[in-house]
Structure 1
Amino acid sequence: MTVKTNAADLVSVSVTGQVAHPSFSGLPAEPYRLTSEGKAFLWPTFGGIVYNVSVGDTAFGWSGDCVHPSISISNAHPDKNRGLNILSCVGNVAVVTTGAAKGAEGVVTGKSGRFSDQVIVHFDIETRRKIAIGDQILVRSEGVGMTFPDHPEVRAKSIAPGLFDKLPVRTDPSSALLIGVTATVPPHLVGAGAGLTSEGGSLHIQSTDRAELAKHGLDTLRLGDVVAFADTDSRYNNGYRRGAMAIGIVGQTDGPRAGYGPGTTIVMTAIDGALGAFEAPGTNIADLLGLSK
């Protein structure tokens, strides 16, 4: 079905960033992190160019900690980086403007980093091999300010109108907007990102208890899967509220730290039952957007 939006009124504006370098804090001097069992580990984490992890791949099993598939970008100026992060929307077109891959087009697939500090962009592997750290990526941002005239209680967040139009949607007898998802995350599995802004960054699915993940069908998630968060209000900050719901897109891999797991970008939310979900196995933006490896 078609859901009416104000897409024709949205402002499309450019934002830009550079391919980010992976980094570790200078202090404390030890680069190690701790697993949920208190064991030190040292794995790749977010940032840089990832050649062998792509949207559509499993979100679990990698020897990495919350890795971003494909390319991570940021802007060196903090205020400009905030603009890049807020205005970029999942589904936006991104273009390489410098370097050997100049002119190549990709797609924004998520927002992440520790505190909303990177945007994740998909390029096919051949293009990734041409891109270098520091290359400029321009995002044709569009989506911030999107509304649903027939569902005014539902807030759109970080989603391009073109991607929304491809999602499986329904309405129920109460006129709630229902989104097709691969799985629903119960509130007790909501992890890092709770209490932080829903305009950027990521909301994680805690994955320490693998049996509990399997119980809710979350142990087979893929990067790019569309998921629902039950009793989660993400209108401003991410937090618990009975009857609320948020819709997210899995943007980064699992990791061994307590409170973390696959990280998602929130793209819709509402309270009081105005937004719901139905089972639509396999709903993944790699398929919806035709992203090739």
Structure 2
Amino acid sequence: MIKFNKEQLIMQSVQGKVHPPVMKRQYRVGSDGRPWILPATGGITYNFQIGDGCMGLAGDHVEPGVSTKNPDPAMDMAYNTLTCVGNQAKVITGEAKGTVGYVTGKHGGIDHVMIAFEQEVLEKLTIDDQFLVKACGQGMTLTDYPEITVMNLDPELLNKMGIEEQDGCLVVPVTKVIPAALMGSGLGSDTMLSGDYDIMTRDAKSFAELGLQELRFGDIVMIQDHCNDHGPDYCQGAVTIGVIIHGDSYISGHGPGVTVLMSCRTPKIKAKLDPNANLANYLNFKK
């Protein structure tokens, strides 16, 4: 078990509601100059959840499960910042009231928190439904690894991820290792305690070599030479671990999004390739 400051962590209530799809314009222009009209962010996505493929969809930045936010801007900032991947979210309205799901990611720009619920719950939800999240995880520090910054990670999830300790390092199971050069939209953010940043997928050679077509919602990935202890920064030898939270994109500089879970400026984090490194397995999620 990886030791952390469990007794010092705070659990607080934050609340959001389903945020429906919105269109400020109909067309999105792809990196090839073609205009597209496609489903995108928001709403309740019934047929794609964590564990499902996020590439090649007839959509742009598709979010799995339920997309939520708080309509009050200040409350929404707290909702997006304090909520962590793996936190429990309870339905507090409507026909599905009392059922529980899990936070699976945070999408910057649109400022959505995504929540996974079983299919029978999704069928009962409406655009008007609200969710109470027991937010816990921000402020986590690892007792034996002070160099590693942890964020956006539920403390119960940490020790379900199959992380091993070897020679003073953490060995984290991941499905893919992503070169720093492929990271795009989201660079320049001043913090990664909310939101995400994107893996660019328009380069055919790297796409094929890395097997990016295999990426799934909920996959745990490593990003090489990127430090995210504050905003994303190129740093040789740095390592970032994150989770895939939304689907691919046709837009230049965009692609599947990564919410950061941990980062280190020195190579204190190692990757172990494992096709089972996905939130659906760690949360024992059944569609």
- Structure 1 residue ranges, 4+ long, deviating more than 6 angstroms after superposition: none
Deviation at 1:182, TM superposition (A): 0.8
Would the aligned equivalents of 1:14 and 1:139 in 2 still touch at CA under 8 Å? yes
- Which secondary structure does the structure 2 equivalent of 1:46 belong to? coil
* Residue number in structure 1 paired with 2:30: 35
Among residues 145, 169, 176, which one is paired with 1:183 in the alignment? 176
> Given that residues 198 and 255 in structure 2 are in contact (C-alpha distance below 8 angstroms), is that contact kept between their aligned partners in structure 1?
yes
Alignment partner, residue 206 of structure 2: 212
1:216-250: per-residue Cα shift (whole Å, max 9, x none)?
23220111110000001111101211111110101
Alignment identity in percent?
37
* Equivalence for 2:13: 14
Normalised TM-score (structure 1): 0.95
Q: Secondary structure at the match of 1:90?
A: coil
Q: How many residues align?
A: 286
State which of 56, 63, 69 in structure 2 corresponds to 1:68: 63
Query: Which runs of no fewer than 5 residues in structure 2 stay unpaired?
Result: none
RMSD of aligned alpha carbons: 1.2
TM-score, normalised to structure 2, is 0.97
SS at structure 2 position matched to 1:278? strand
Q: Please, which of 32, 50, 58 is the counterpart of residue 53 of structure 2?
A: 58
CA distance in 1, matches of 2:117, 2:109: 22
Give unmatched runs, 5+ long, in structure 1. Answer: none
Q: Is the 8 A contact 1:96 1:105 kept in 2?
A: yes
Q: Which residues in structure 2 correspond to 1:199-278 (within 5 Å)?
A: 199-278=193-272
Given that 1:192 and 1:260 are in contact with CA atoms closer than 8 Å, whether structure 2 keeps it comes out as yes
1: CA distance, partners of 2:239 / 2:208: 21
Which whole-Å CA distance do the structure 2 matches of 1:282 and 1:39 have between them? 36
- Counterpart contact for 1:66–1:262, Cα < 8 Å: yes
Equivalent pair of 2:108/2:197 in contact (CA under 8 Å)? no
Give the drift of 1:113.
Answer: 4.1
Give the counterpart letter for 1:13 in structure 2.
Q
